């Protein structure tokens, strides 16, 4: 029963990444190499963030919300944006379109995040004798992170790769990218500042990911249209 629960949670956590790759044109254009490169960049970015967090943040004695500490975390979190910039603009890719490039980068980014932050807790905790919903919720959170990562990659590609985008959309693109990039700090405030329980936070992440995906899709479609 414990292994069955583990496999169910693992499929919920990592399965959508494989389904997304197989169900979209990414598999047809063989973009797996791009996703792997993006995953490696994510791991390097995570190492830099870890060093910065250990250097600049103080160990808190309580689990309360500290605005100064969270502001530092948010600023350090923008290292992810720098990593996405490198993955989108500096890595060599196969001859794929901008549409497929940002999806492949976002997919690799989200998969590396799930492996780094969820695989070990899943292996240790989901095989326990006592059933808990926490690991199912972590799987749902990984799905929300997948959508948010692809949305952020789409917005980043519009910022750095799309030159002739409508000027009226530029502030909206930057604002949406800022919201997605600071989602970890937003959810931290909901948990520690407002006292939200984990299921409510995950529900918020799922809802926000769908909203940001829709907005990103609309912005990307608007920038794809030829200017009048």
pLDDT tens-place string over residues 65-80? 677 888 888 888 889 9
Q: Region 162-183: what's the mean pLDDT?
A: 90
pLDDT band at 111 (very low <50, low <70, confident <90, very high): very high
Q: Return the C-alpha torsion angle 33, 141, 6, 14, nearest 10.
A: -20
The token duo for 178 is 């800022």
Residue 60: per-residue pLDDT: 66
Nearest-10 Cα torsion for 7, 12, 14, 20 = 140
* Residues 218, 104: Cα–Cα separation, whole Å: 19
| pLDDT score, position 228 | 47
pTM for the model: 0.90
Percent of the chain with pLDDT over 70: 92
Q: Cα separation of 74 and 3, whole Å?
A: 37
83's CB contacts (< 8 A; 6+ apart) are 41, 42, 44, 45
Name the least confident of 126-130, 148-152, 160-164. Answer: 126-130
Q: How does residue 57 score in pLDDT terms, banded at 50, 70 and 90?
A: confident
**What is the share, in percent, of the chain residues with pLDDT greater than 90?**
50
Maximum CA pair distance of the chain?
Answer: 63
202 CB neighbour count, 10 Å cutoff:
21
Using pLDDT thresholds of 50, 70 and 90, give the confidence band for residue 27. confident
What would the 3-class secondary structure string for the chain be?
CHHHHHHHHHHHHHHHHHHHHHHCCCCCCCCHHHHHHHHHHHHHHHHHHHHHHHHHCCCCCCCCCCHHHHHHHHHHHCHHHHHHHHHHHCCCCCCCCHHHHHHHHHHHHHHHHHHHHHHHHHHHHCCCCCCCCHHHHHHHHHHHHHHHHHHHHHHHHHHHCCCCCCHHHHHHHHHHHHHHHCHHHHHHHHHHHCCCCHHHHHHHHHHHHHHHHHHHHHHHHHHHCCCC
Lowest-confidence region among 84-88, 118-122, 126-130, 137-141: 126-130
């Amino acid at each position: 029963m414990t292994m069955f629960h583990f496999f169910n949670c693992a499929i919920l956590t990592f399965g959508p990444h494989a389904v997304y790759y197989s169900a979209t044109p990414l598999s047809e254009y063989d973009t797996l190499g791009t996703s792997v490169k993006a995953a490696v960049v994510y791991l390097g970015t995570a190492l830099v963030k870890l060093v910065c967090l250990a250097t600049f943040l103080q160990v808190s004695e309580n689990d309360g919300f500290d605005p100064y500490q969270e502001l530092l975390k948010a600023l350090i979190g923008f290292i992810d944006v720098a990593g996405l910039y490198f993955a989108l603009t500096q890595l060599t890719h196969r001859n794929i379109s901008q549409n497929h490039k940002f999806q492949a980068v976002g997919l690799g980014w989200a998969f590396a995040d799930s492996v780094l932050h969820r695989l070990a807790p899943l292996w240790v905790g989901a095989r326990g004798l006592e059933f808990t919903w926490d690991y199912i919720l972590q799987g749902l959170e990984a799905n929300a992170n997948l959508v948010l990562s692809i949305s952020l990659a789409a917005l980043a590609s519009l910022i750095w790769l799309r030159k002739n985008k409508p000027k009226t959309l530029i502030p909206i693109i930057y604002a949406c990218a800022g919201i997605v990039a600071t989602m970890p700090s937003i959810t931290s405030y909901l948990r520690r500042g407002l006292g939200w329980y984990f299921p409510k936070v995950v529900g918020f992440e799922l809802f926000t990911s769908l909203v940001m995906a829709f907005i990103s899709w609309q912005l990307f479609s608007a920038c794809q249209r030829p200017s009048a």
